[in-house]
């Protein structure tokens, strides 16, 4: 079958001899790379690019690496959005639809007390982990739903954020993925941008930390 999967890792340093970026599996996926069951999103487009239907974006306070919260202090705030967005491993950063920018920035300020920008910042690792986690709700592939998985307890399912669509897919993008670190200058740069809908892309920093089957 024409299938492959990409499992990107996060490296804080680079070398001229090469830097391990993750694993590409041809013909399917390797369960040895996974800590949780594979869940399946609906493929939005049938031409040229891979895409998904994004039904909502959430900003969760007090961080967390997983789609499942690990603290009662992690509160989810919803941004209503609906539409297809391309997934592209060749695009380093993530670009969200421009219409989300105002609401995203307003929620960010409400949660953090500071404005969101793409300027470089000096913060401690502890403060980095406390930055919001961005969650993406993707439409599920109806024919691939595993009814045995508990939506409120399974990493990657939307049971805790959407009671009407609990088996939708929920992908976490923590600050350790969207904040790019410069070892040379000891600074971080936010790598979530906003641009016209036709140019919106979920890039490599969105894919990081997940084993994604195409």
Could you report the per-residue pLDDT of 99-157, keeping only the tens digit for each? 999 999 999 999 999 999 999 999 999 999 999 999 999 999 999 999 999 999 999 99
Could you report the per-residue pLDDT of 28-66, keeping only the tens digit for each? 888 888 889 999 999 876 557 889 999 999 999 999 999
In angstroms, the first-to-last Cα distance of the chain is 11
Could you report the per-residue pLDDT of 174-186, keeping only the tens digit for each? 999 999 998 889 9
Distances in whole angstroms, Cα of residue 65 to Cα of each of 69, 84, 127, 135, 171: 8, 25, 14, 10, 10
Within 10 angstroms of residue 49's Cβ, the number of other Cβ atoms is 13
The arithmetic mean of pLDDT across residues 14-37, rounded, is: 79
The pLDDT value given to residue 12: 58
The pLDDT value given to residue 14: 53
Quote the pTM value: 0.89
* DSSP letters for 160-209: TT-SSSTTSEEEEE-HHHHEEEETTTTEEEE-EEEE-GGG-EE-HHHHTT
Q: What's the token pair of residue 173?
A: 């993008």
């Amino acid at each position: 079958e024409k299938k492959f999967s990409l499992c990107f890792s996060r490296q804080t340093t680079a070398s001229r001899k090469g830097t391990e970026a993750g694993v590409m599996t041809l013909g399917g996926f390797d369960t040895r790379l996974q800590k949780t069951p594979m869940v399946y999103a609906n493929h939005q487009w049938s031409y040229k690019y891979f895409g998904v239907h994004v039904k909502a974006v959430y900003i969760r306070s007090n961080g967390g690496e997983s789609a499942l919260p690990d603290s009662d202090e992690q509160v989810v705030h919803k941004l209503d959005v609906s539409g297809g967005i391309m997934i592209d491993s060749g695009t380093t950063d993530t670009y969200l639809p421009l219409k989300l920018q105002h609401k995203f920035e307003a929620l960010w300020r409400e949660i953090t007390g500071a404005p969101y920008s793409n300027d470089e910042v000096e913060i401690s690792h502890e403060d980095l982990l406390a930055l919001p986690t961005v969650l993406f709700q993707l439409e599920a592939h109806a024919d691939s739903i595993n009814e045995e998985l508990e939506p409120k307890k399974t990493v990657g399912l939307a049971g805790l954020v959407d009671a009407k669509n609990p088996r939708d897919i929920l992908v976490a993008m923590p600050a350790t993925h969207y904040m790019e670190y410069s070892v040379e200058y000891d600074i971080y740069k936010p790598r979530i941008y906003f641009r016209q809908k036709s140019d919106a892309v979920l890039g490599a920093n969105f894919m990081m930390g997940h084993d994604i089957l195409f």
